[in-house]
Structure 1
Amino acid sequence: MDLDTVRTFVAAADAGQFQEAAAELAITQQAVSKRIAALERTLGVRLFTRTPRGAELTIDGQAFLPHARELLRAAGRAVASVLPGSRPLRVDVISSRVAPSGLMRDFHRAHPEIELDVVMLFDIEAALAAIRSGAIDASFRAVAAPGRPLPEDIASVRVLDEPLQLLTGPAHALASARSVTVAQLAGHRIWMPGLAPGTEWAAYYDDLAAGFGLTIEATGPNFGSDALLDTVADTPALATFMGGQTRLVWPAGHGLRRIPVTDPTPVYPHSLLWRRDNPHPALVTLRDHLAATATGHGAAGTWAPDWATGREGREGRVSRSRGGLRSGGSGG
């Protein structure tokens, strides 16, 4: 059903005259007559009776009028739902416990007036497809994984370098250390059952292990973070890595230790991805917020893979400067 004919019918019903309806709609009286006639043919009934005073609704016209009004209201709501800024900003944070989720909580506290839909997508390819289709507006990812450059219509900016920490149980050999160097981790078993092949975080830890001679194991089923914490707490031979801003809670009796890693400090590079032509105004606000609150990246004494800094490579890159070690490149 043509909404223009429905709109013309409602205008004519309200005005009681085709001429006044034509003036309201900025069309000719002949166009009003043609639209009403077309609608009557579609419905198979007469909607108006011509009178000396104008046009009166027939019984069928009176029955159709409230439904016609609802059709127009529904059309208006449909249009409003996709106008820029009229729908919630949809952002993928991968998981509720990781750093991007914290970044979005901070954004919500700073901009409570902006409606948000927070989603969690596991795979980067699914996230990219959702960005390109418009299903989501943005995603937090480590980019670009080796051999998988971003599509040209996807933009990215590095928003957070998250230092890694070593998590151990109370009986682990390093449990009492205030900090550990990457070199000290050689020979220790680091267990990370969540490293799914093909993910950007698996690529990150592959490069970290290769670059510093670490033993990172992804064996066994992944029963989630609670099971991982239970195992690390009870097994002196195992430790795991976690982001410094990852939010996990465990029983006090576990006695787990979070230990900073230094010389250099491995940092996990979080970037925000979005489609270049996305018009949502809240997306601009989010990017401005992240730019204003970011602590910077490429700090002295840190390490990140070359592919995360915009350079292909499997060894990672740490260069020296007068101020000490500095990770190379810039994200996004």
Structure 2
Amino acid sequence: MASSVLVANLTQEWVDCLRRWHMEYFFIPTIVVTMATLLANPVLLSCIFLSRALRRETRYLLVANTLMADMLFLILNLAVMICNAVSAQVPWVVCGLFTAVTVTAYCCTVLTITLMVVDTYAAVRWPLRYHDLLPPARTHRILVGVWVLAAVYPFTLVIMMEVGRGNSEEGLAVCLVLVSLGLIQVQNIIAIHVYFFVAALFCALLIFYCYIRLYMVTKTHGIWQSRFSRARVTLLAHGVLLLLYFTPGFVFILELFLFQRKDISHDVRVWVSTVNMCVLMLLPRALAPYLYGLRYREISDTLMQLLHRHRGLSQNSAS
């Protein structure tokens, strides 16, 4: 494990680089996007959980899980950025906990959107058996398993980090997932790369396979004939969203690689990490609630019903 002096020097260099390049301006879009998403996601979650029909559908439970994981990720990401912006000394144990939960939330989102594609494939491939294969109770157990699976490895790494550090109580000038995992990586370089890269590659290949199979199963149904058919537009929108969700993960793998290279400028590492954290990781989470609200008619219809009901209650109370 890296010494306390090395950690202190590294985090201080990171702060100096942030100030030298005036990267605090990246916090502005971060706050705006985070606030917009945190306003939209609870509305969609209310539509899903207040409707008995929607909360019994597997696809809407998966959407709800994605939105909740995104909210957790955004809250932690914003909290960490605020701490870094005001140069707060974050204790190692707190930073490690933030790291573990942030990685868990990100991995949970990736796993859930992968399951969303698998769910769509199952619904098209076995329409008569679909509800028997994925009843609500089984979906709940699957989602619990997704959270557990996403949490096991990052929390294991944090525990290893705390055990290796001993009882030292020093704080960090910046708390970043990259710094935490990058320092652990000295002794677990292969394991971390295997976890992130292989897991992301497996999910991407599974999604690609399901889309290919979906096209082969439905190509004779005529839904792909029109250039602007609903199937093509849905596939394009979902494909763009999936690309935006997966890209930050692969960029983070690049960040871990650059972190270990001594011949790479420190400024380059800081720029790549900042852009990934403040832009790339926020884009899909900013688009997701609006895309889901437009893509799923049942959600938009439920939202309109709730708005009309609220408007009617307001008018009755006013009269």
Interval containing the TM-score (normalised by the shorter chain): under 0.3
Q: Relative contact order (alpha carbons < 8 A, sep ≥ 6): 1 or 2 greater?
A: 2
Task: Kindly indicate which of the two structures has a greater share of residues assigned to helix.
Answer: 2
- With the length of structure 1 as denominator, give the TM-score of the two structures: 0.19
Looking at CA atoms only, which structure, 1 or 2, has the larger radius of gyration? 1
Task: Kindly indicate which of the two structures has a greater share of residues assigned to strand.
Answer: 1
